[in-house]
Structure 1
Amino acid sequence: MNEVIVAIESSCDETSASVCVDGEIKSNVIATQEIHSKYGGVVPELASRAHQQAIAPVVMEALERAGVEKKDLTAVAFTQGPGLLGALLVGTSFAKSMSLGLKIPLIGVNHMQAHILAHFIEEPQPKFPFICLTVSGGHTQIVKVNDYLDMTVLGQTQDDAVGEAFDKCAKIMGIPYPGGPLIDKMSKSGDPNRFEFSKTDMPDLDYSFSGIKTSFLYFTQNQTQKNSDFIEENKYDLAASIQRHLIGMLMEKLELAAEREGINQIAIAGGVSANSELRSTLISTGEEKGWEVYIPKFEYCTDNAAMIAMTAYYQLKGGQLSDLTASPMPRWKF
């Protein structure tokens, strides 16, 4: 074994650890925090406390599953940002301690770059250059990927991310957090063309999801004033309709980006890439336009340490290391 990396992901509400040996993922352990569901969203302080409780057992389990001992490790990686400050601090501190104690290199990883490089965990893998639509709870970006560590943001949301729009519309409907997956499930029983909502038109390849969220809110409030049971009686059609709008907005800009850049290698990444309609729409659009489409496995869509480990592997090969002065970067961009 040459390069044996243990990676830690603690940017939001999943505590995860993974072991990568010479570019091959050997384990990927994820501990999900259930406590946030009763509050309708992630509570940063509670997330930090949960990370503190879970991080040591999760890391030890990842090592055990990989059949690796601490003395075998040649580097430790961690999510440096973006994310929740307190949550990032837990992972950063733990990784620094391992680096110092084991006298091995430290590698800080950009969480959004890692979502994209999740495509290199398993086959099939996109060819460079490719365009990746990264969609998560806090980010929506269209990225041109020239190489493993060479990426350019072509467009991004100027306010809410699409994941936030899903969750906020779900909250309006009384659906518990996280609402995005539940809207996806409910939409399968609804009419996606039943309701129309207004949206904000953005120039070029940028997005805005605040307008459609507000339109959804005002529409449901207006209808509820006429019929207090409106949401309950129409919840499946509402779910299907808002999902159609949001996926349509994503695809419109993605198609424009592919056309402008002249690239037919198209990928998606991030938590919202687990959405069934986004996946099916991407596949059908790809067949129509002659794209080669790449969609990650579900386990690599949401926050996980395997993608951090894979990114760290390429950073280690490229000499992109950190030191003990590294600090969390909650708003880190690339």
Structure 2
Amino acid sequence: MIILGFESSCDETGVAAVCTERGLLAHALHSQIAMHREYGGVVPELASRDHIRRVLPLTTEVLQKANLSFDDIGAVAYTAGPGLAGALLVGASVAQSFAWARGLPAIAIHHLEGHLLSPLLASPRPQFPFIALLVSGGHTQLMRVNAVGDYELLGETLDDAAGEAFDKTAKLLGLDYPGGPELSRLAQTGNSAGYDLPRPKLHSHDLDFSFSGLKTAVLTRLRQLEREPGGLTPQQRADLAAATEAAIVDVLAAKAIKALKQTGLSRLVVAGGVGANRRLREKLSQALAARHGQVFFPPLDLCTDNGAMIAFAGALRVKAGLVDLSDTGHAFTVKPRWDLQDVCRPGVHP
């Protein structure tokens, strides 16, 4: 069966076609970064309007890339949440309209489940069970993944997400939107040992995270440096970026390793936009190699929000028997706030 997937939860419009037997056939993505950069962040109304402009041309592009017609599609998947309500409604309404017109089932997908399962698109692909580190601008969580639809929350951020900490620190340093990638680029020219920044909850006994204190520490140090004769130098700015990145990565890596130790598992999956961070990839790869374990990352072009992960999650749910393909009713809603554990398969109680 071929699944057509739509992603429009925030500032990327993604469409993809995935076959339950052959995997990813084609995907297309439009990022709104250039549009939102002028405002220093995502403007929800502009995001929704841009999704409307992009979704149908991207759908045509995917079908052409995969050499498919509408008659080849067996089901439609779409991001139902979490995300921006208006943005979610664009993808959901297009998906449901297409499914209604063709008499197809429509599969509502949790955005984080898409990220969680996206490393299975890579080769080699991890085997269940594994620990998943979900790190993005809005979420930082550690999950035990036993199977498709069988997820157990082990720990999460108590305040800022890791990606949010990157973005907020980048803004303090005067970097362009999106801040995370800009901070990482600047950090490459800095000395991470130049400033001793806190690593909140690094040695706590739980698997939770906290990053708001790190942002405050950077702000305090920045103000001190700006008051010095000559003000903040370019090298000091780069050193602060490098020290911030090192602090975030150290905490993420330490908690991920602790989760592996506590569960006795040896496979770690990293997903979400922060999963593209070079320092995080290097540190986790070294740590898992030392433990004779394995770490898996999604392809770099699938770290950000994309339609491929949504179509793929739909395909995996179909294969796992978690979708009623006979249900072609098309009443729907979107869920800007949606707990991942709510999508666990019947009988699974995290």
1:221 aligned onto 2:223: yes
| Conservation of the 8 A alpha-carbon contact between 1:141 and 1:157 | yes
Instruction: State how 1:41-52 maps to structure 2 within 5 Å.
Output: 41-52=41-52
| Conservation of the 8 A alpha-carbon contact between 1:12 and 1:84 | yes
Q: Distance in 2 between matches of 1:279 and 1:200?
A: 21
Instruction: State how 1:132-211 maps to structure 2 within 5 Å.
Output: 132-201=132-201, 204-211=206-213
| Conservation of the 8 A alpha-carbon contact between 2:122 and 2:299 | no
| Conservation of the 8 A alpha-carbon contact between 1:14 and 1:32 | yes
SS at match of 2:38: helix
1:12 maps to: 10
Task: Determine which of 236, 243, 261 is the counterpart of 1:259.
Answer: 261
Listed one character per residue, the Cα deviations across residues 190-246 of structure 1 (whole Å, up to 9, x for unaligned) are 111101223433651111111111111122122212246315341221111100000
- Cα pair distance change 1:145/1:231, threshold 3 Å: farther
SS at match of 2:298: coil
Task: Determine which of 273, 284, 287 is the counterpart of 1:285.
Answer: 287
1:319 aligned onto 2:322: yes
Q: Distance in 2 between matches of 1:313 and 1:64?
A: 20
Residue identity matched to 2:322 = G
- Cα pair distance change 1:97/1:194, threshold 3 Å: same
Greater Cα shift, 282-291 or 219-228: 219-228
Instruction: State how 1:65-144 maps to structure 2 within 5 Å.
Output: 65-144=65-144
2:29 maps to: 30
Residue identity matched to 1:293 = V
Q: Distance in 2 between matches of 1:227 and 1:209?
A: 30
1:328 aligned onto 2:334: yes
| Conservation of the 8 A alpha-carbon contact between 2:120 and 2:298 | no
Residue identity matched to 1:90 = V
Q: Distance in 1 between matches of 2:230 and 2:265?
A: 49
SS at match of 2:54: helix
Q: After the TM superposition, list the runs of 4 or more consecutive aligned residues in structure 1 that deviate by more than 6 angstroms.
A: none
Q: Distance in 2 between matches of 1:36 and 1:274?
A: 21
| Conservation of the 8 A alpha-carbon contact between 1:149 and 1:314 | no
Instruction: Say how many residue pairs are matched.
Output: 332
Q: Distance in 2 between matches of 1:86 and 1:158?
A: 27
Listed one character per residue, the Cα deviations across residues 11-55 of structure 1 (whole Å, up to 9, x for unaligned) are 110001000123411111001112111111111111111101111
Residue identity matched to 1:213 = K
Q: Distance in 2 between matches of 1:203 and 1:330?
A: 32
Q: Distance in 2 between matches of 1:236 and 1:30?
A: 32
Q: Distance in 1 between matches of 2:300 and 2:262?
A: 29
Residue 64 of structure 1: how far off its partner (Å): 1.2
Structure 2: 5+ residue stretches without partners? 341-350
Q: Distance in 2 between matches of 1:232 and 1:76?
A: 50
| Conservation of the 8 A alpha-carbon contact between 2:225 and 2:231 | no
SS at match of 1:39: coil
1:276 maps to: 278
Residue identity matched to 1:31 = H
Residue identity matched to 1:195 = Y
Identity of paired residues, percent?
A: 39
| Conservation of the 8 A alpha-carbon contact between 1:83 and 1:330 | yes
Q: Distance in 2 between matches of 1:229 and 1:14?
A: 38
Q: Distance in 1 between matches of 2:162 and 2:46?
A: 24
2:298 maps to: 296
Q: Distance in 2 between matches of 1:285 and 1:110?
A: 30
Listed one character per residue, the Cα deviations across residues 75-95 of structure 1 (whole Å, up to 9, x for unaligned) are 111011111111101111111
In the superposition, the TM-score normalised over structure 1's length comes to 0.96
Residue 184 of structure 1: how far off its partner (Å): 1.4
- Cα pair distance change 1:233/1:189, threshold 3 Å: closer
- Cα pair distance change 1:227/1:14, threshold 3 Å: farther
SS at match of 1:277: helix
Q: Distance in 1 between matches of 2:307 and 2:30?
A: 11
SS at match of 1:230: coil
| Conservation of the 8 A alpha-carbon contact between 2:192 and 2:242 | yes
Residue identity matched to 2:313 = T
